[in-house]
Structure 1
Amino acid sequence: MNSIVSPITCKVNNVFIHVSDLERSAEWYSKLLGIPFIKENVSSPVYNIPISAETGITLDDHTLDPSFQLKPSNHVLFNFFVKDIDEAYKFIKDKGITIVKKIERVGDFAYFNFQDLDGNVLMICNC
């Protein structure tokens, strides 16, 4: 079998989430992830959420692209990892965040889906 040489690294580098209100979304995601929100660090058109992992999250309000039309994804964009799915579910529910799929369990694997402020569907998963 021949090995294909590619200049592309086999790694997801960053996830972009398209938002309508950058400051409001930056604050919402910061609270969701339990990280400090520093309003002065938010500057349109993008905000990079300070992530402690290899894959980053960038919020993008497209202020430099006036023809852009936001179309929230009703399919899961990505998932956040948790150790305790029930604790995470209660946390999301207690914050009044819209849950679009209750906890599904398949053996040891469990997940649920919820929406961000713009209606993008995200997942929380224990694996």
Structure 2
Amino acid sequence: MKTIMNAIGTVFLPVQDVEKSRDWYCDLFGISPEGDIQFGHLYVIQMEGVNLVLDSKLFQKTGPLRAPMFHLNSTDIQKAYEEMQSRHVDLTTGIENGHWFNFKDPDGNEMMICQC
């Protein structure tokens, strides 16, 4: 029996202020914040598939991500781009190859949204 599975359970994201980041991401995903901030620096966002953990202690060690480490899925990349524009998010690319774009979250993490 294998003890190490071929599955990713969680992605950690460095954030400066875990409460502000929780609120920003929950608003972005259209969900209500649920659960507590754990150990004063971790907040788990339950996602479809892999969970996202916002970690303010990690930010102190690494600073923001300078390249996307994962992408958020979209069913309509044009509408996703327009939504991010309307939220005044720092868009770092246009829609590339009709398929994806990059942006920075409030903590300066380089992120990607990709049409699946």
Displacement of 1:70 in angstroms is: 3.9
- Is the 1:77–1:120 Cα contact (8 Å) retained in structure 2? no
**Which protein is bigger by CA-based radius of gyration?**
1
Q: Note if 1:71 corresponds to 2:63.
A: yes
Matches within 5 A, 1:1-127: 6-37=2-33, 41-43=36-38, 44-51=40-47, 53-62=48-57, 68-105=60-97, 110-127=99-116
Whose RCO is larger (CA < 8 A, sep 6+)? 2
TM-score (norm 1): 0.81
- Bigger fraction of residues in helix: 2
TM-score (norm 2): 0.88
Q: How far apart, in 1, do the equivalents of 2:104 and 2:25 lie?
A: 11
Q: How far apart, in 2, do the equivalents of 1:82 and 1:57 lie?
A: 17
Other structure's SS at 1:24 match: helix
Letter in 2 for 1:61: S
Q: How large is the Cα RMSD of the aligned pairs?
A: 1.9
- Is the 2:13–2:54 Cα contact (8 Å) retained in structure 1? yes
Displacement of 1:71 in angstroms is: 1.6
Displacement of 1:41 in angstroms is: 3.1
Displacement of 1:61 in angstroms is: 1.0
Displacement of 1:82 in angstroms is: 0.7
Letter in 1 for 2:37: V
- Is the 1:79–1:124 Cα contact (8 Å) retained in structure 2? yes
- Is the 2:14–2:65 Cα contact (8 Å) retained in structure 1? no
Query: 5+ residue gaps in structure 1?
Result: none
Structure 1 ranges of 4+ moved more than 6 A: none
Q: How far apart, in 2, do the equivalents of 1:69 and 1:27 lie?
A: 22
Count of residues in Structure 1 that have an aligned counterpart in Structure 2? 114
